[in-house]
A and B are shown apart, each in its own frame.
Chain A
């Protein structure tokens, strides 16, 4: 059949690949604004579909007995897991979901590299493909295991506190060295599957575990972004090994995205990526918190009723949410409060710190889920000049990102981290479960500020109480 021959020709498939990666890139440009993003995502999905169909059209694709069924089996299993997960996941659990998805992608790369190894290495397989497969195997495997640990921490299966071994940095360096040396030996022509499994897959698996275990929960936004970049780069490497342009382009888009986010997050915490990967933020820095502790004076505690009165007579109220809002699932209650205040003629804005929550953009998604219009959300640089003009700032489950010690206490472990300058506003109300310190284990002088009043209790309950008091006024 002429049509079949045409559809199976390399030229046709390559052309389809070009269409596919163009659609992927074009789709991503839609993500520059919330209005075009839905469409962009669909366009990217169409690009992906074209890439898959073009691959299945290849001549000899279904060669060998049972190949069709094996492919269907894989797709069915993946769909059966992926669809319910995507439809049911709560927005508060998005960091876990993204961590898991990063890992799964990296795992696929490592498995593909393993099959490639068994099949081609040592024969007439070009060295270039070997090098890129080995790179993909190491990075993909690190990403798989690291992401699983990140998932475990976020899901609270594992303790969020850093877990550290003595001499961790040396062990990590040695493991990395084992991976690199094994890769060189294998690429040089030694054919040993045992070396591939032990030196590449197992060593990088341990490395992935060791790198993420010592990282505290507050550093998760950086880790997730970094693992995202790793998975992307390993996919691109597999693309070069298989000489497949769509895989290269798609992998590099993800690699670029992960890299950009990693840098943004690290900058927002004023920490370098190597320092975060070296680990041990929370817990390890409890000692130098001395001066802040001494500064601690009396805490003023307040009631929902007083807060409601203060808010209702304000002209402008800024709400600064943090991870505590996610934990308490308080986003819907916050939306109700915002509506009640708007009804009273109060201007309400939200101040979003880039690393509030456990992943980039976490707060934005939670508030979007609660139907808060995105144009009420302000980024840190936009909202900071507004605080002096703000009557009341409501801090809901945020701690370190509002800590003035970052600005004026050079001895503080978070000194230099850009913060939401909530202490500049007329008065501050902090909603907090108890007086326990934030994730970083650092005391927050904001709580002892004479302008600050604390409202203790579950964030969701407190916000609902305030809302009903506001409505009753």
Chain B
């Protein structure tokens, strides 16, 4: 197969997967979802990394440094703020002992 066909196949399939996964996110978590997706679209940092070596001239290098900085803001800031926010969500009843082992929200309540 032509690589374009493969890429578009990935694009379409990823769209369906994304739709299915995200539809299950409850309203409660919509703000963390948005900041989490902010982190994920920080993936564009890869574009900056891929092009840096072949860039030439001051302008291109400046543009790419800004692009890498923007992408890094997304990745680092997005994941951190989402983590901070999700840490605030607590249930009324502390999780039972058997659930508490899996993650770190055991300090609730």
The interface of chain A, by Cβ under 8 A from chain B, is: 21, 24-25, 28-29, 31-39, 41-42, 44-45, 48, 51-52, 55-56, 58, 60-64, 67, 70-71, 73-75, 77-79, 81-83, 85-87, 89, 91, 94, 97-98, 101-102, 104-105, 107-109, 111-112, 114-116, 118-119, 126, 128, 224-225, 228, 231-232, 235-236, 238-240, 242-261, 352, 354, 359-362, 364-365, 368-369, 371, 373-377, 379
Contact = CB atoms under 8 A, between A and B. Distances in A.
Contacts of A83: 76-77, 80
A104 B7 contact: no
Interface string B60-76: 11011111111111111
Give me the 3 closest cross-chain CB pairs, A-B, nearest first: A78-B72, A74-B68, A361-B30
23 contacts: A34-B105, A38-B86, A41-B82, A44-B79, A52-B49, A64-B53, A74-B68, A74-B71, A78-B74, A86-B84, A89-B81, A108-B48, A111-B66, A112-B64, A112-B67, A115-B55, A118-B57, A240-B4, A251-B41, A251-B43, A253-B14, A364-B27, A373-B92
A121 to B, nearest CB: 13
B98 interface: no
A111 B88 contact: no
A232 B29 contact: no
A32 B60 contact: no
Most B Cβ at <10 Å: residue of A38, A42, A101: A101
B17 to A, nearest CB: 6
Interface centre among B38, B59, B102 (most CB of A within 10 A): B38
B43 A74 contact: no
A86 B81 CA distance: 5
Contacts of B17: 25, 249, 252-253
A105 B44 contact: yes
Contacts of A24: 40
Nearest to B12: A252
Contacts of A224: 34
A282 to B, nearest CB: 23
A69 to B, nearest CB: 10
A82 B18 contact: no
B51 to A, nearest CB: 5
Given A42-B83, A238-B47, A74 B103 contact: no
B9 to A, nearest CB: 10
Nearest to A62: B53
Contacts of A257: 18, 22, 25, 33-34, 37
Given A228-B37, A242-B50, A82 B76 contact: yes
Contacts of A251: 14, 41, 43-44
B15 to A, nearest CB: 5
Given A31-B25, A45-B79, A51-B46, A73 B65 contact: yes
Contacts of A56: 49
B44 to A, nearest CB: 5
Contacts of B24: 29, 32
Looking at B19, B77, B91, the one whose CB has the most chain A CB atoms below 10 A away is B77
B79 A48 contact: yes
Contact of B8 (A32, A60, A240): A240
Contacts of A126: 4
Nearest to B29: A31
B21 A28 contact: yes
Contacts of B86: 34, 37-38, 41
A87 B84 contact: yes
Given A34-B86, A232-B41, A249-B17, 4 more contacts: A86-B80, A98-B35, A245-B10, A257-B34
A48 B40 contact: yes
Given A32-B26, A112-B44, A128 B15 contact: no
A60 B40 contact: no
A38 B105 contact: yes
Contacts of B33: 31, 257, 261, 360-361
Given A77-B69, A111-B70, A360-B34, A105 B46 contact: no
A374 B44 contact: no
A246 B32 CA distance: 22
A70 B44 contact: no
Contacts of A78: 45, 68-76
A31 B32 contact: yes
Contact of B80 (A82, A104, A249): A82
Contact of B31 (A73, A87, A359): A359
